[in-house]
């Protein structure tokens, strides 16, 4: 099986190689021997000792003990070289492996195998690099790039070189070329690759630290990483950067948090993160921090911009620092100032203002170095021509506009603007161009005047983004002490790095071999520290710098966490016993003894292997009753849907709780603490009924059935002989007449009782309110109950059913007040567990009158094409559009000086599809309950049209005419009017500048064909070209004017959460 995964190749001959993973099927095709076992993933174990001695060796190590010790000592390094001398090459007929060489604590091998391809079964050499961690984990990954070389031992033509870049994981743990070179070419002595029946293979690899195996960051580097919650690599990179800015970390430690909410406090969560990074030996979690932000689980799976998070988080901390001993720390360390100025060229006038900044956004596109970006930032712009500056009393003047830096801060954050909007593609794109920055930065020439200390900076952190605009991955390289020793922080993995890896490899661009496999990996944010402040900003933070109260708090949290972890580890040994007692449901009104999910109860944790006697003995100390005074009754769900208790035998007291619960993790019992002797006597005592008052007794069989114990002349205990454990007795005073409700009546009413949730139809996200009603209620009874709660007239309410039982939306059709059914009929299709919902709206006219009217939703659009307000109009069903407009006038405030005449439009997909005639009936409105209609005032020039004038709609679109957007409008066109005049009137209506309108193209759209209007001022328009086209089946095609330009409105996606901005809610 050849996967044919291609990679860049650098050929020194004409071999056509493909990059692929080795597979078992191919190995079997070449007649693999038992000497080389393989697993299902194509991972090949080492060859047998004899085969290794006969076939090849690894000259780099060659079983030399000193070399092996040296390799183990440097096993954590990323670069390694394997040289594999394959002897007796002509005899190879199956897979061979080199000795392992360790990089990043993982063994790497060269894997060689004969491969056959094509119909003629042409023989080739398969050359692969194998990554085989010594672990059973199936979740490890390791990214590496390598150069695979076949050495030329004789000829001057040079070696064959191929390059690979791959993320190795269990199912793809080898990668390379299945047709590295043909077997005949390798065996040809004239080619120079074979000598004395031996060939030499080399692999120079550079591996990133692995994830999921073989890497102890604390032991190797002295630092720990942060665990990724899903897509929080951007946050992890920023937190590591802030942590190693030790002056800021010291200020965060000093923030008072003794009285803060342990869950919602952002400063406390930051202190905890910094403390754990400083003292933990394993990767630190960030869930408590994101919880303090007020984020939900979904937020942890949304990648954001690291610079945006930096601004929001630092702003939050700065606000929390106010009024404390560390107030002003962030502005002092991060805030610089720039001067924005405009200086006139011909008069003595200058306007300027000082603006603070916490970071600088510098352009990358078209710039080669960071210095070019700073020069572009302070570049002077000349204001002349139509863009002259209004200099007040001097009038319009030619001037120069620009910015200059007044001072730079001790810590300088620079954002490289790699994401920019591309108007041609209509989306944000990432700029991966090569862009150089340096470990030392001299910014003195960009200052208005020299500062007391030179503006010389040392690079402290490089935040790197891999990917594109749709997502990717962040890592950060940090020069921890400012001495040029770099470390790479990739979520939970920390490793040493070189200055070349941190700086040069993150310039971006695709030029040169060093960028192989890294075309979209480049620096996105840089942190520089001023040389004069380097010692203070990075001064080592000791244990004494952390407040004692904070250390005690975190030590206590750690103890609790260890205890909780222990409980979780031992949770399988315990079960939950939920106990209900009589005093916890004595006031229960309903079926059964109680409702389990509503009645209060106590939950006890008990060992599964403990007996019932042992449990009761422990329980007796808790509730203050002896074991003799307690009798447990397990709860049992009967087939008829009721819940009753069942009795226990004496032998059950020595059974384990887990056995009694029938191997369930939860056991539910009713605990009786006072045992009754005479049931009738106890019933009388319970409600203080004298002995001479006769009682009636009933058995509760199920929710809709109670049976009277008819023979009252025999003792109650005798009548209960056929009862079983858990049966329920109900009693009442024997009524002398029918005025006293009976038990049957009570249970019947109880059976019909239903909780209904009411929501205001016109209020979005209305929390609603609940009422307990009877299913037998009719319309007016329900209306009276709701009106009483809302304190309104019941006739001024209108009700709606839910659109569907499981959707939170009201139906478009109201429930008529003459509805003759009951509440039960409204919820006929609801399942018992579904919340019963009804919607209502408050009316301004009685519901009886409303039902003779039509409800029309209207949106009022102002003269400036702004959607101002939304409201409902209620014309009579036999009314005309003119009567609807007259009613609408009473609901809106018309601007002065207008015509006072309104028109009604229907807009669909941002285009006007209908302009309704005043004399038309209200019946012409399609689905008035579901659609929103547009109301607007008719302009003066559109009141009475002449024969040579026509009214045509103007709509916005982008590239394709079906991609309409914005607010369309109607305008008058005069026969023979010039194109320039039409464009000027459109520009005036839209109220946009000449510069912006230059980006608009005006077109006539007729039957789907687009004809763009020329820029010729003398070109005129004939209204004949704008007349409707009549086709078959009554089809009418109406031409319209289209404005083709970029839609700058934010796009609405199905998944709105993708575009959510970062917010810290606490």
What is the spatial distance between Cα 124 and Cα 146, in angstroms, rounded to a whole number? 21
3-state secondary structure at position 143: strand
What is the spatial distance between Cα 755 and Cα 1053, in angstroms, rounded to a whole number? 37
Which DSSP category does 260 fall into?
Answer: S
Give the number of other CB atoms < 10 A from CB of residue 378. 15
Task: Check: CB of residue 526 under 8 Å from CB of residue 437.
Answer: yes
3-state secondary structure at position 878: coil
What is the spatial distance between Cα 488 and Cα 233, in angstroms, rounded to a whole number? 13
- Reading phi first (left if > 0) and then psi (alpha if -120 to 50, else beta), residue 474 is in beta
CA angle at 264 for the pair 258 and 265, rounded to the nearest 5°: 40
Which residues are catalytic, by number? 233, 473
Task: Check: CB of residue 304 under 8 Å from CB of residue 234.
Answer: yes
C-alpha radius of gyration, the chain, whole number:
41
Quick one: how many helices (H) and strands (E) in the chain?
Answer: 26, 55
Q: Which residue, chain included where needed, has tokens 């009936």?
A: 921
What is the spatial distance between Cα 902 and Cα 1037, in angstroms, rounded to a whole number? 25
The token pair that represents 983 in the structure block: 């464009």
E-strand stretches of 853-947: 856-861, 867-873, 902-908, 911-915, 932-937
Question: Pairing relation of β-strands 753-760 and 836-842?
Answer: parallel
Instruction: Give the closest residue to 406 by CA, choosing from 455, 372, 373, 366.
Output: 455
With 0-12 / 13-18 / 19 or more C-beta atoms within 10 angstroms meaning exposed / middle / buried, residue 1054 is exposed
CA angle at 512 for the pair 510 and 516, rounded to the nearest 5°: 65
Instruction: Give the closest residue to 665 by CA, choosing from 573, 569, 564.
Output: 573
Dump the DSSP string for 707-761: EE---TTS-HHHHTTT--TT-EEEEEE--SSTTSPPHHHHHHHHHHEEEEEEEET
Beta bridge partners of 174: 130
Distances (CA, A) of 393 to 220, 349, 396, 397, 867: 70, 10, 9, 10, 39
Instruction: Give the closest residue to 417 by CA, choosing from 474, 501, 360, 462.
Output: 360
What is the spatial distance between Cα 95 and Cα 385, in angstroms, rounded to a whole number? 77
What is the spatial distance between Cα 241 and Cα 526, in angstroms, rounded to a whole number? 10
Instruction: Give the closest residue to 157 by CA, choosing from 17, 14, 60.
Output: 14
What is the spatial distance between Cα 833 and Cα 848, in angstroms, rounded to a whole number? 34
Q: How far is CA 436 from the centre of its chain?
A: 33
What is the spatial distance between Cα 177 and Cα 164, in angstroms, rounded to a whole number? 9
What is the spatial distance between Cα 599 and Cα 583, in angstroms, rounded to a whole number? 10
Dump the DSSP string for 630-684: -EEEEEEE-TTS-EEE----GGGGGSBHHHHTTT-SEEEEEEE-S--S-HHHHHH
What is the spatial distance between Cα 902 and Cα 937, in angstroms, rounded to a whole number? 4
Q: Which residue, chain included where needed, has tokens 């190693």?
A: 244
What is the spatial distance between Cα 15 and Cα 160, in angstroms, rounded to a whole number? 9
At a CB cut-off of 8 Å and minimum separation 6, what does 519 contact?
432, 510
Beta bridge partners of 263: none
What is the spatial distance between Cα 413 and Cα 489, in angstroms, rounded to a whole number? 18
């Amino acid at each position: 099986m050849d996967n044919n995964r291609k990679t860049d190749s650098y050929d020194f001959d004409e071999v056509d190689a493909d990059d692929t993973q080795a597979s078992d099927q191919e190995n079997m095709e070449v007649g693999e021997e038992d000497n080389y076992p393989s697993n299902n993933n194509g991972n090949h174990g080492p060859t047998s000792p004899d085969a290794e001695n006969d076939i090849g060796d690894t000259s780099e190590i060659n079983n030399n003990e000193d070399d092996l010790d040296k390799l183990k000592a440097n096993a954590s390094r990323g670069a390694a070289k394997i040289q594999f001398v394959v002897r007796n090459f002509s005899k190879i007929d199956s897979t061979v492996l080199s000795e392992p060489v360790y990089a990043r604590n993982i063994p790497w091998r060269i894997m060689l195998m004969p491969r056959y391809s094509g119909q003629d079964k042409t023989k080739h050499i398969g050359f692969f690099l194998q990554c085989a961690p010594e672990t059973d984990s199936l979740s490890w990954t390791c990214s590496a790039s390598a150069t695979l070389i076949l050495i030329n031992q004789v000829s001057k033509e040079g070696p064959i070189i191929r390059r690979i870049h791959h993320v190795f994981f269990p199912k793809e743990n080898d990668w390379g070329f299945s047709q590295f070179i043909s077997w005949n070419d390798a065996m040809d002595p004239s080619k120079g690759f074979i000598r004395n029946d031996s060939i030499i293979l080399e692999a120079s690899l550079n591996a990133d630290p692995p994830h999921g195996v073989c890497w102890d960051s604390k032991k190797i580097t002295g630092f720990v990483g942060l665990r990724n919650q899903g897509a929080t690599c951007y946050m992890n990179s920023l937190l590591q950067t802030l942590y190693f800015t030790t002056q800021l970390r010291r200020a965060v430690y000093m923030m008072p948090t003794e009285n803060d909410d342990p869950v919602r406090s952002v400063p406390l969560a930051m202190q905890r993160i910094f403390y754990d990074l400083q003292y933990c030996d394993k990767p630190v979690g960030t869930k408590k921090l994101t919880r303090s932000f007020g984020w939900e689980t979904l937020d942890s799976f949304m990648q954001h911009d690291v610079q945006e998070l930096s601004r929001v988080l630092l702003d939050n901390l700065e606000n929390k620092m106010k009024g404390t001993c560390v107030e002003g720390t962030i502005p002092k360390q991060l805030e610089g100032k720039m001067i924005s100025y405009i200086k006139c060229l011909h008069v003595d006038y200058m306007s300027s203002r000082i603006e603070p900044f916490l970071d600088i956004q510098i352009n990358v596109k078209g710039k080669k170095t960071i210095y070019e970006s700073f020069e572009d930032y302070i570049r002077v712009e000349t204001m002349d021509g139509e863009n002259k500056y209004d200099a007040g009393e001097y009038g319009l003047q030619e001037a120069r506009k620009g910015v200059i830096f007044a001072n730079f801060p001790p810590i300088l954050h620079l954002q490289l603007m790699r994401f920019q909007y591309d108007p041609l593609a209509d989306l944000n794109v990432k700029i991966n161009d090569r862009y150089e920055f340096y470990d030392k930065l001299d910014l003195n020439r960009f200052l208005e005047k020299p500062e007391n200390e030179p503006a010389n900076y040392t690079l402290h952190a490089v935040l790197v983004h891999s990917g594109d605009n749709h997502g990717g991955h962040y890592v950060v390289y940090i020069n921890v002490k400012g001495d040029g020793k770099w470390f790479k922080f990739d979520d939970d993995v920390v490793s040493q790095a070189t200055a070349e890896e941190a700086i040069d490899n993150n310039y971006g661009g695709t030029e040169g071999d060093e960028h192989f496999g890294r075309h979209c990996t480049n620096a996105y944010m840089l942190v520089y520290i001023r040389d004069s402040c380097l010692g203070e900003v990075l001064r080592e933070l000791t244990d004494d710098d952390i407040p004692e109260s904070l250390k005690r708090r975190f030590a206590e949290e750690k103890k609790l966490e260890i205890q909780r972890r222990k409980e979780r580890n031992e949770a399988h040994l315990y079960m939950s016993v939920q106990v209900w007692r009589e005093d916890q449901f004595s006031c229960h009104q309903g079926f059964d003894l109680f409702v389990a999910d509503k009645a209060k109860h106590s939950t006890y944790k008990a060992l599964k292997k403990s007996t019932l006697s042992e449990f009761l003995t422990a329980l007796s100390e808790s509730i203050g009753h002896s074991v003799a005074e307690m009798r447990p009754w397990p709860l049992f769900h009967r087939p008829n849907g009721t819940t009753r208790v069942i009795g226990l035998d004496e032998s059950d007291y020595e059974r384990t709780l887990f056995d009694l619960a029938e191997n369930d993790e939860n056991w539910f019992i009713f605990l009786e603490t006072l045992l009754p002797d005479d049931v009738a006597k106890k019933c009388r005592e319970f409600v203080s009924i004298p002995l001479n008052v006769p009682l009636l007794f009933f058995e509760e069989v199920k929710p809709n059935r109670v049976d009277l114990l008819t023979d009252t002349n025999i003792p109650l205990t005798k009548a209960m002989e056929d009862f079983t454990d858990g049966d329920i007795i109900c009693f009442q005073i024997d009524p002398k007449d029918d005025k006293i409700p009976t038990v049957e009546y009570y249970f019947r009413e109880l059976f019909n009782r239903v909780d209904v949730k009411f929501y205001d139809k016109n209020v979005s996200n209305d929390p609603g309110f609940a009422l307990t009603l009877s299913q037998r209620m009719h319309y007016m009874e329900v209306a009276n109950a709701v009106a009483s709660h809302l304190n309104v007239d019941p006739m001024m309410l209108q009700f709606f059913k839910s659109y569907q039982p499981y959707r939170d939306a009201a139906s478009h059709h109201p429930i008529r007040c003459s509805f003759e059914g009951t509440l039960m009929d409204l919820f006929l299709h609801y399942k018992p567990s579904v919340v019963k919902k009804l919607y209502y709206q408050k009316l301004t006219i009685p519901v009886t009158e409303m039902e003779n009217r039509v409800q029309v939703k209207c949106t009022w659009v102002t003269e400036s094409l702004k959607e101002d307000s939304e409201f409902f109009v209620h014309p009579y069903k036999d009314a005309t559009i003119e009567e609807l407009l007259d009613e609408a006038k009473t609901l809106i405030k018309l601007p002065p000086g207008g015509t006072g005449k309104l028109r009604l439009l229907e807009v669909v997909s941002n285009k006007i599809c209908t302009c309704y005639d005043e004399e038309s009936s209200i019946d012409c409105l399609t689905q008035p309950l579901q659609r929103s209609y547009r109301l607007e005032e008719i302009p003066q020039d559109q009141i009475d049209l002449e024969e040579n004038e026509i009214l045509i709609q103007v709509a916005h679109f982008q590239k394709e005419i079906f991609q309409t957007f914005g607010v369309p409008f109607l305008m008058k066109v005069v026969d023979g009017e010039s194109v320039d005049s039409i464009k000027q009137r459109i520009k005036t209506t839209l109220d946009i500048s000449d510069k912006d309108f230059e980006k608009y193209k005006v077109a006539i759209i007729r039957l789907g064909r687009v004809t763009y209007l020329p820029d010729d001022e003398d070109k005129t328009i004939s209204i004949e070209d704008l007349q409707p086209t009549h086709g078959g089946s009554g089809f009418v095609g109406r031409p319209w004017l289209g404005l083709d330009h970029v839609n700058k409105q934010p796009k609405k996606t199905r998944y709105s959460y993708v575009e959510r901005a970062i917010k810290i809610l606490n």
